[in-house]
Amino acid sequence: MPLRLLIALTLALCALPAVAAEPTGTLTGVVRAQVTQKPIANAHVSCGAYTAQADEKGEFVLEDIPAGVYSVSANAPGYGGRLITDVQVSSGRVARILLELHPDEPDVTQLESVHVQASPFTGSSRAATSAVRLNRFEMQRTVGAAWDIQRVFGSQPGATTSSDLTNNLVVRGGNPTENLIRVDDIEALSISHIAAQGESGGAIGLVNLDFVRDTEFFTGGFPAEYGGKLSSVLDIRLREGNRERLGGEIELSMAGFGGGLEGPLQGGRGSWVASYRQSFLDLLKEPARLTAIPHYDDAHAKVVLDLSDSHRLSWVGIGGRSDVDIQWVRNVDRAVYDGFKLLTGGTWSAIWGESAASRVTLSHVASVDDSQIWQAKPEPIYDSHSASRETAVAGALDIGADENNAWRLGAELRRIEFRYRIGSEDWNGFSENAGRIVYIEEHEVDVRHVGWRLSGYAHRDWTPVRPLSVRLGVRGQRFTLTDASSVDPRIGLRWTVAPQTSLSLSGGIYHQSPTTLELVLDPTNLELQDFEAWHAVAGFERRFAGASRLLIEAYRKEYRDLPIREDETLAGSNALRNLGRKQVQGVDLLLEKRIRKGPYGSIILSLSDSKSRDAQGAWYPDDYDIRRLVSVSGGVPLIAGWTLGGKWRLVGGRPYTLLPIRPNDVGGYDLDPDFEARNTVRYPDYRRLDLRIDRRLELGGWGVSLFLEVQNVTNRDNVYAWQFDRVDGELKPILQFQRLTIMGIIADF
């Protein structure tokens, strides 16, 4: 669709007056216990002035609610309250939500003139610190995130993305490979388009945000259920389709075109939802000064069927293709990428009596990637064809009615297969994983490996005395390919010193295997052992009326046995050894108001120090030693249904090594890999201001959301990296996004 037509259509809809008759919509959902997922009968649900009582299956229906954005709460005898903010009730699509309750929630807030026990800050019941949960409505309204889940959580305390050009998460000094991503209990290889083999992030998210129910994000000290990564967990839960009638959604913006359908199964005993999306990024190349245009498409589907009141089957499938042709400073410096991602799996969930529940998931994930890189030569200096496939069966058993006295036991068997065919000359390039220029030695690889990873965990929730809750866990795992085994203890403590004030402490040991790419770079790399990190996190939280809170967390991480070259100062062998060390310490501060009644917003301040040690024992600033991060975001309702939001961010400049430039024997220049000191200079600080304005319309049974967002309003030149020009012998800046205007329409029916 031509850009002018899109702008004209958006402006025409913006000019429409509100409809005379007040449109109404329907809200449905289910109330369940957070630990066992048992339906909670007779729970009381409130949406503004509208209330409903859940039936024996925990299901509720609220009809004829005036269309708008609401905070929805639920409570029940013996349980504390749960509050979900930013729920959109539309005259179009029927909204469906899940409200999870757990006992004796101490928080008391005032909502819609009804005094209820409820809080919008409910995170994981099994984590004492460093956990946040956002629903899809909150994520969709995050300014500057481009409806990308990883970019949404790159704005949380202690977290950022490595650049505008990628959604790689950098969490409390960890590199992007240290982030675990799960989708409906399935461990994902990647959920991004244009994500090279071994990287966890890419140019744009693969998961359609409209397809998501909610997401939990752990930035440290996470419980024993999660393993295999050192820094963070992104646990994504996809939503069900509505069980009332056929509905759907259409999205059109300069970032893409797509839509979805959903509806009931077997008279409301289940549901289905499916969507498809295709890129439209050609419209953004000039405004954003992009060096390349990613082309992609993706599809999603989820089916849920209640076999009985206690047994449920669900299946999810997500797949996507993408390609990009990147041209850097000169046309002879170029990279081409083509990839395919797949995630699919089925889950059987069961409830056994009053205090037990189980879950068994069979899953398969795959990633196929082809890439070529040219540097000042007519033939590619790097040519890689790779494929990874992982098939797993995992189970979890919950015992106990609530987290005051409960167990979770789990195990997983995972078959890991990967193949690489690589032809590479000696070359250097910028690595998103490392955050710096890396050297690769000339090598030819054509290998296929198969390994098995067996893991199991036990987690104990215990409340010995009412103000104190204890979380204990242990996780063990073994990887046959590298013959590596580990046992990781975890602990979490939370002490409620007053009804609105708590202190918390968590810690543990975490292990991670080298990436598959690292394992194939040299035959001896298969001897690498898992590397580890020790976490310690202390927190203070104070909640206020109006769904506001102050959260302060201090943390320290100690890394050991990191895989590095024995001689880091030379572009030598690709062989790695477990000789690296790393230390990260810092403090995160968050002050936020969550509910959108009047002005809302947050202030984030993160200070940290991260340093690494090379094989010779010398310490230096780590590649992701960001030092400081400041974020101020928020918004305010305007007249006639308009909302204005904004976000300003400052991220400290990463350090880098200033390599010497020397003439070569063919009349050009090369970077000299010999240097005296690592990471002695820094990139300029990153600063960006984003503004967004929204309006919601109800038009003849359709709900229409209009938005206009301007990213990098001041058009600041933020440097992404230095690109070395071999002809001129100069380092030239590659800039991140310039001023970028995004318009769009989302319509549901």
Domain range list for the chain? 3-116, 131-748
Written as six digits, the tokens of 111 are: 């909502």
Give the per-residue pLDDT at 107: 41
Residue 215 has pLDDT above 60, yes or no: yes
Residue 116 has pLDDT above 60, yes or no: no
- 197 Cβ contact list (under 8 Å, min separation 6): 367, 369, 371, 384, 386, 388, 420, 516, 517
Stretch among 117-131, 167-181, 279-293 having the lowest mean pLDDT: 279-293
Written as six digits, the tokens of 152 are: 């949404």
Stretch among 202-216, 428-442, 487-501, 568-582 having the lowest mean pLDDT: 428-442
Nearest to residue 107, comparing CAs of 96, 97, 120?
Answer: 120
Query: Could you give the CA distance from residue 585 to residue 84 in angstroms, rounded to a whole number?
Result: 33
Residue 288 has pLDDT above 70, yes or no: no
In this predicted model, which residue has the larger pLDDT, 221 or 121?
221
Are 82 and 99 contacting, i.e. CB atoms less than 8 angstroms apart? yes
Residue 669 parent element (H or E): strand 669-671
Are 409 and 458 contacting, i.e. CB atoms less than 8 angstroms apart? yes
Q: What are phi and psi of 284, to 5 degrees?
A: -100, -5
Are 82 and 133 contacting, i.e. CB atoms less than 8 angstroms apart? no
Stretch 401-413: mean pLDDT: 88
Are 363 and 392 contacting, i.e. CB atoms less than 8 angstroms apart? yes
Residue 636 has pLDDT above 70, yes or no: yes
Residue 285 parent element (H or E): helix 285-288
Residue 16 has pLDDT above 60, yes or no: no
Residue 270 has pLDDT above 90, yes or no: yes
Residue 224 has pLDDT above 50, yes or no: yes
In this predicted model, which residue has the larger pLDDT, 660 or 475?
475
Residue 253 has pLDDT above 80, yes or no: no
- 700 Cβ contact list (under 8 Å, min separation 6): 19
Whole-structure pTM value: 0.92
Residue 286 has pLDDT above 70, yes or no: no
For the four alpha carbons of 519, 523, 526 and 531, in that order, the dihedral sign comes to negative
Q: What is the DSSP letter of 49?
A: T
Residue 384 has pLDDT above 80, yes or no: yes
Q: Rounded to whole angstroms, what are the CA distances from 583 to 486, 630, 679?
A: 21, 22, 16
Written as six digits, the tokens of 720 are: 């992404």
Assign domain 131-748 to its CATH architecture. Beta Barrel (2.40)
Q: How confident is the model at residue 419 (pLDDT cuts 50, 70, 90)?
A: very high
In this predicted model, which residue has the larger pLDDT, 108 or 696?
696
> Length of the chain, please?
749
Q: Cα–Cα–Cα angle for 329, 322, 207, nearest 5°?
A: 120
**131-748 has the same fold as 3-116:** no
Nearest to residue 416, comparing CAs of 236, 229, 189?
Answer: 189
Question: Mean pLDDT, the chain, as a whole number?
Answer: 88
- 516 Cβ contact list (under 8 Å, min separation 6): 197, 198, 386, 388, 416, 418, 420, 449
Nearest to residue 132, comparing CAs of 496, 470, 549?
Answer: 549
Buried/exposed code over 203-212 (b: 16+ C-beta within 10 A; e: otherwise): bbbbbbbbbb
Tokens 């036991």, residue located: 409
Give the per-residue pLDDT at 19: 47
Stretch among 289-293, 713-717, 745-749 having the lowest mean pLDDT: 289-293
Q: What is the pLDDT of residues 30-49, one digit of tens each?
A: 999 887 788 999 999 999 89
Region of 113 on the Ramachandran plot (φ > 0 left; ψ -120 to 50 alpha; else beta): left
Residue 397 has pLDDT above 90, yes or no: yes
Tokens 């797509």, residue located: 258
Query: Could you give the CA distance from residue 467 to residue 541 in angstroms, rounded to a whole number?
Result: 14
In this predicted model, which residue has the larger pLDDT, 203 or 709?
709
Name all contacts of 707-711 with Cβ < 8 Å and 24+ positions apart.
707/742, 707/743, 707/744, 707/746, 708/10, 708/741, 708/742, 708/743, 709/143, 709/144, 709/741, 709/742, 709/743, 710/739, 710/740, 710/741, 710/742, 711/144, 711/146, 711/737, 711/739, 711/740, 711/741, 711/742
Give the per-residue pLDDT at 122: 63
For the four alpha carbons of 440, 329, 255 and 288, in that order, the dihedral sign comes to positive
Query: Could you give the CA distance from residue 531 to residue 554 in angstroms, rounded to a whole number?
Result: 23
Stretch 244-260: mean pLDDT: 85
Stretch among 99-103, 133-137, 210-214, 483-487 having the lowest mean pLDDT: 99-103
Residue 1 has pLDDT above 60, yes or no: no
Written as six digits, the tokens of 86 are: 């930013």
Give the per-residue pLDDT at 316: 98
Q: Work out the percent of the chain whose per-residue pLDDT is above 90.
A: 59
Most confident of 429-438, 502-511, 665-674: 502-511
Written as six digits, the tokens of 267 are: 């008279």
Q: Cα–Cα–Cα angle for 648, 88, 266, nearest 5°?
A: 135
Give the per-residue pLDDT at 596: 60
Give me the amino acid identity at 489.
Answer: P
Q: What is the pLDDT of residues 692-732, one digit of tens each?
A: 999 988 887 898 989 999 999 999 999 988 878 878 888 88
Stretch 538-550: mean pLDDT: 91
Give the per-residue pLDDT at 291: 58
Chain centroid offset of residue 416 CA: 23
Chain centroid offset of residue 689 CA: 22
Query: Could you give the CA distance from residue 9 to residue 690 in angstroms, rounded to a whole number?
Result: 23
Query: Could you give the CA distance from residue 551 to residue 589 in angstroms, rounded to a whole number?
Result: 6
Q: Which three-class secondary structure state does DSSP give residue 206?
A: coil
Q: Rounded to whole angstroms, what are the CA distances from 544 to 90, 299, 540, 541, 587?
A: 31, 42, 14, 10, 22
Q: What are phi and psi of 700, to 5 degrees?
A: 55, 45
How many of the other CB atoms lie within 10 Å of CB of 127? 25
> Among the CATH numbers 3.40.50.1820, 2.60.40.1120, 3.40.50.12780, 2.40.50.100, which is that of 3-116?
2.60.40.1120
Written as six digits, the tokens of 632 are: 């101020």
Stretch among 242-251, 269-278, 694-703 having the lowest mean pLDDT: 694-703
Residue 133 has pLDDT above 50, yes or no: yes
